[in-house]
């Protein structure tokens, strides 16, 4: 009893060969157990809501279920079909083009707005900050429906201009406009928060050295928030590749230009929930996941020196 009391952490390890070693091991074990206990809620949720569904989706992507023959093991058939499916390719190409145009426009606007409100400290800048952020607070579905009315060629405010906002050659730009409206404010806040974290002394010394406000913004502020820029850009790339809600909501306005395979996500959704092709849908989703992963990786690799996310 006394022995145990003198070595405070040895209670469960009294039967060890050497008291010192066993004590150390026990401490280590207990610390590990405590650590695991702390992360347990996260691990359980991660397994239950991410890893298990992913594993299940992967499993069903290897099967093929037909209306007549039932479920059969298909191995990579679904993947081969998806890779060779022109509708999948059309969607992937479309979201890639969309991302290439959308990302610089959105991040550029967000950066410009963030720099502007960072250098002005009037009441107007506070109002502008809130006003630019409000679209993000509007649910995507509501925002898109609202734009649907604005684009209407009979009741919308632009009805007299004679522009068909949902024709096949204009609809991608119309969708991009909605996305920018919705997300530019959010990205602006991310960049603005990073700007707020910069030490003000640097600006002062730059001003003493004769730098103009524009030079400060471009040469000092922008490079110093590059890791926030990389993060915002990464989220935007991921978002554009997974483009889904906006085209789905606008689809009824012109199903000829926004087809059911307009984006890969919409195609996968339609396969699963309109045609009960859960297996094929899972395969398309995994392929899209791979595209998003590779796209994000390439971007992170290219910006590894700036991002501090190595």
Partner 1 sequence: MNVSKLSARRVSRRSVVAAIAASALALTACSSSGDDETATAKPTGTVTVKVWAWYPEFQAVVDQFNSTHTDVKIEWTNAGTGQDQYTKLQTALKAGKGAPDVVQLELQEIPTFQLTKHLVDLGKYGANDVKADYVDWAWKQVSTGDSVYAIPVDAGPMAMMYRADIFEKYKLTVPTTWDEYKTQAEKLKTASGGKSFITDFGANDGGFMTGLQWQAGAQPYAYDIADPSKIGVNLNSAESKKVFDYWEGMVNGGLADNTAFHTTDFYAGLNSEKYATYLAAGWGPGYIQANAAGASGKWKVAPLPQWTAGANAQGDWGGSSFAVTDQAKYPDIAAKVAMEIFGAKNTDAWKIGIDKAFLFPTATPILESEAFLSKEYDFFGGQKVNEVFVPAYKAIGPLAWSPFNSYNFNQLTTNLGQAIEKKTAWSAALDTAQANVKTYATQQGFKVQ
Q: 36 or 149: whose CB is closer to partner 1?
A: 149
Q: 187 or 245: whose CB is closer to partner 1?
A: 245
- Binding part of the chain for partner 1, among 124-132, 135-143, 151-159, 177-185 by CB under 8 A, reads 151-159
Among positions 38, 56, 275, 301, the unique one binding partner 1 when judged by CB under 8 A = 275
Among positions 38, 49, 75, 149, the unique one binding partner 1 when judged by CB under 8 A = 149
For 132, the token pair is 């630019």
- Binding part of the chain for partner 1, among 6-14, 152-160, 178-186, 240-248 by CB under 8 A, reads 152-160
> In terms of C-beta distances under 8 Å and separation of at least 24 residues, what long-range contacts does 25-31 make, across chains too?
none
Closest distance of CB 81 from partner 1, Å: 9
User: Is 167 an interacting residue with respect to partner 1 (CB under 8 A)?
Assistant: yes
Count of Cβ atoms closer than 10 Å to residue 1 Cβ? 5
User: Is 90 an interacting residue with respect to partner 1 (CB under 8 A)?
Assistant: no
Per CB under 8 A, contacts with partner 1 among 48-67 are 66-67
Q: 215 or 254: whose CB is closer to partner 1?
A: 254
Picking from 260, 294, 280, 264, the residue whose alpha carbon sits closest to that of residue 80 is 280
Closest distance of CB 283 from partner 1, Å: 14
Cα separation of 58 and 39, whole Å?
Answer: 26
Closest distance of CB 44 from partner 1, Å: 24
For 225, the token pair is 């928030």
User: Is 76 an interacting residue with respect to partner 1 (CB under 8 A)?
Assistant: no
User: Is 170 an interacting residue with respect to partner 1 (CB under 8 A)?
Assistant: no
- Binding part of the chain for partner 1, among 28-36, 95-103, 147-155, 194-202 by CB under 8 A, reads 147-155
User: Is 196 an interacting residue with respect to partner 1 (CB under 8 A)?
Assistant: no
Q: 153 or 244: whose CB is closer to partner 1?
A: 153
Which whole-number Å values give the CA distances from 179 to 4, 17, 59, in the listed order?
Answer: 66, 67, 34
- Binding part of the chain for partner 1, among 38-46, 55-63, 95-103, 267-275 by CB under 8 A, reads 267-275
Number of residues in contact with partner 1 under rule CB under 8 A: 26
Closest distance of CB 241 from partner 1, Å: 23
DSSP assignment of 270-293: HHHHTT--HHHHHHHHHHHHHHHH
What is the CA 47 to chain-centroid distance, rounded?
A: 21
Closest distance of CB 154 from partner 1, Å: 4
Residues 6+ apart with CB under 8 A from 241: 95, 96, 99, 288, 291, 292, 295
Task: Find the angle CA(224)-CA(227)-CA(231) to the nearest 5 degrees.
Answer: 145
Among positions 3, 69, 201, 209, the unique one binding partner 1 when judged by CB under 8 A = 69
For 238, the token pair is 């991921």
User: Is 270 an interacting residue with respect to partner 1 (CB under 8 A)?
Assistant: yes
- Binding part of the chain for partner 1, among 42-50, 104-112, 250-258, 286-294 by CB under 8 A, reads 250-258
Three-state secondary structure call for residue 169 = coil
Backbone φ and ψ for 66, nearest 5 degrees, come out as -115, 155
Burial of 225: CB neighbours in 10 Å, binned 0-12, 13-18, 19+: buried
User: Is 162 an interacting residue with respect to partner 1 (CB under 8 A)?
Assistant: no
Which whole-number Å values give the CA distances from 191 to 129, 233, 286, 290, in the listed order?
Answer: 12, 11, 32, 28
Q: Would you tell me which residues interact with partner 1 (CB under 8 A)?
A: 66-69, 148-149, 152-155, 167-168, 252-257, 259-261, 270, 273-276
């Amino acid at each position: 009893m006394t022995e145990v009391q003198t070595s405070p952490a040895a209670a469960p390890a009294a039967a060890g060969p050497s008291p010192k070693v066993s004590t150390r091991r026990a401490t280590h074990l207990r610390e590990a157990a405590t650590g695991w206990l702390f992360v347990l809620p996260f691990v359980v949720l991660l397994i239950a809501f991410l890893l298990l569904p992913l594993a299940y989706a992967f499993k069903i992507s290897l099967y093929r279920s037909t209306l007549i023959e039932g479920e059969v093991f298909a191995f990579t058939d679904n993947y081969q079909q998806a890779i060779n499916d022109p509708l999948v390719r059309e969607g992937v190409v479309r979201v890639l083009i969309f991302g290439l145009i959308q990302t610089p426009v959105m991040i550029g606007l967000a950066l410009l707005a963030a720099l502007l409100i960072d250098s002005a400290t009037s009441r107007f800048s506070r109002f502008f900050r809130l006003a630019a952020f409000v679209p993000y607070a509007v649910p995507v579905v509501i925002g898109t429906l609202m734009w649907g009315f604005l684009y209407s060629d009979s009741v919308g405010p632009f009805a007299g201009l004679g522009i068909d906002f949902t024709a096949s050659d204009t609809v991608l730009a119309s969708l991009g406009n909605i996305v920018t409206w919705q997300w530019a404010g959010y990205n602006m806040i991310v960049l603005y928060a990073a700007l707020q974290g910069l030490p003000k002394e640097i600006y002062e010394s730059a001003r003493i050295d004769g730098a103009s406000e524009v030079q400060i913004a471009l040469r000092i502020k922008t490079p110093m928030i590059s890791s926030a820029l990389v993060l915002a850009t990464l989220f935007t790339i991921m978002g554009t590749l997974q483009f889904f809600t906006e085209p789905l909501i606008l689809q009824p306005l012109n199903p000829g230009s926004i087809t059911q395979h307009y984006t890969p996500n919409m195609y996968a959704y339609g396969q699963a929930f309109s045609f009960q092709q859960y297996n094929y849908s899972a395969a398309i989703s995994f392929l899209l996941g791979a595209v998003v992963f590779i796209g994000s990786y390439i971007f992170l690799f290219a910006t590894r020196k700036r991002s501090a996310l190595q």
